[in-house]
Structure 1
Amino acid sequence: MTKIDPTFYLKNQQPKTASNGTLGKDDFLKILMAQLQNQNPLDPMKDKEFVSQMTQFSSLEQMTNMSESFQNYMNSQNRTPVVQYSSLIGKQVTYPVKDEETGMVDHQAEGTVKAVSQSNGQTNLELEDGSSVAVEEITKVSNEED
């Protein structure tokens, strides 16, 4: 009878640094390999079981890769407010105009967004009349024909 490699004993395993308590694809592959190496030669793993486990592993790997890709996409979108506000191009926006002497809101103005720009951490909408408005000041967004 073959002996079990002592490195597979739980007491000889290195503790994991991840504390979330979930198994990853590497853990799944290690378990599968240990199962294959230590199976009973008189009763080997059935083909259906093996195919099922490989399918689960493949699905796990694809979901992990998709999750990482989606997370990278979301991170890239959050870093670029210009892309986030680009949907306002061609839209009619309303914003307050302040009196220069008092600093109080004098009236509301409207304009059509021509472009979106960013400088010094501030995202601005450039309007067709040449003026520029900070996105934080926008009070209404509508289609041009509204």
Structure 2
Amino acid sequence: MTKIDPSLYLNNQSRGSFSNALGKDEFLKILMAQLQNQDPLNPMEDKEFISQMATFSSLEQMMNMSKSMDALVNNQSISPVIEYSHMIGKEVTYLKIDEETGEYVQPAEKVKSIVEAVSQQEGSAVLELDNGKAIYTDEVVRVNHPSS
């Protein structure tokens, strides 16, 4: 009979960062250790083995799906076009800017227009309006449903 190495006892293991989540690598290591150390006179039944392999396959598929979902969320949150696409068809109000000076017209004059498209310029969302203007989203002072 083989002797168990005392260094493998739980009380000899570091208690640093322990995670309850087992990944596919840990699952595969456990399965391989189980296969290597099984009793040759009482081997694991086929049903058990198939069940464990199905569990392993399921775990791997869930991990792949999780990675895909994370990538999808990251891609959507990065794009300002997607972030502001809900404004298409909405009426926006913004302060009129003098095209020569780039300053707001005094006294303050508000302009209303419908958002036709959203584009990206230098990492910021730009609203393309039905009056031919294009404004940055931070210029908008009001958003509402278009009046008929």
Shorter-chain-normalised TM-score: which range? 0.7 to 0.9
CA RMSD of aligned residues (A): 3.1
Unmatched tracts of structure 1, length 5 or more: none
In the comparison of the two structures, how many residue pairs are matched? Answer: 137
Taking structure 1 as reference, are residues 145 and 50 closer, same or farther at Cα in structure 2, changes over 3 Å only?
A: farther
Structure 1 51/129 Cα, relative in aligned 2: closer, same or farther at 3 Å? same
- CA separation of 1:123/1:130 partners in 2, compared to 1, >3 Å: closer, same or farther? same
Matches of 1:4 and 1:141, distance apart in 2: 76
Over the matched positions of the two proteins, sequence identity in percent amounts to 43
Q: Give the corresponding residue for 1:117.
A: 119
* CA separation of 1:30 and 1:86: change in aligned 2, threshold 3 A: same
Which runs of 5 or more residues in structure 2 are unaligned?
97-103
The alignment's TM-score, normalised by the length of structure 1, stands at: 0.74
- Aligned ranges for residues 1-146 of structure 1 at < 5 Å? 3=2, 9=8, 19-89=18-88, 91-97=89-95, 100-102=105-107, 104=108, 106-107=109-110, 109-136=111-138, 137=140, 139-142=142-145
- Secondary structure (helix, strand or coil) at the match of 2:118 reads strand
> After TM superposition, what 4+ stretches of structure 1 lie above 3 angstroms from structure 2?
3-6, 17-21
Give 3-state SS (helix, strand or coil) of 1:94's partner. Answer: strand
Shift in alpha-carbon separation, 1:67–1:111, aligned structure 2, 3 A: same
Q: Which amino acid aligns with 2:131?
A: D
Deviates more, 1:19-28 or 1:130-139: 130-139
What is the alpha-carbon distance in structure 2 between the residues aligned to residue 20 and residue 31 of structure 1?
Answer: 16
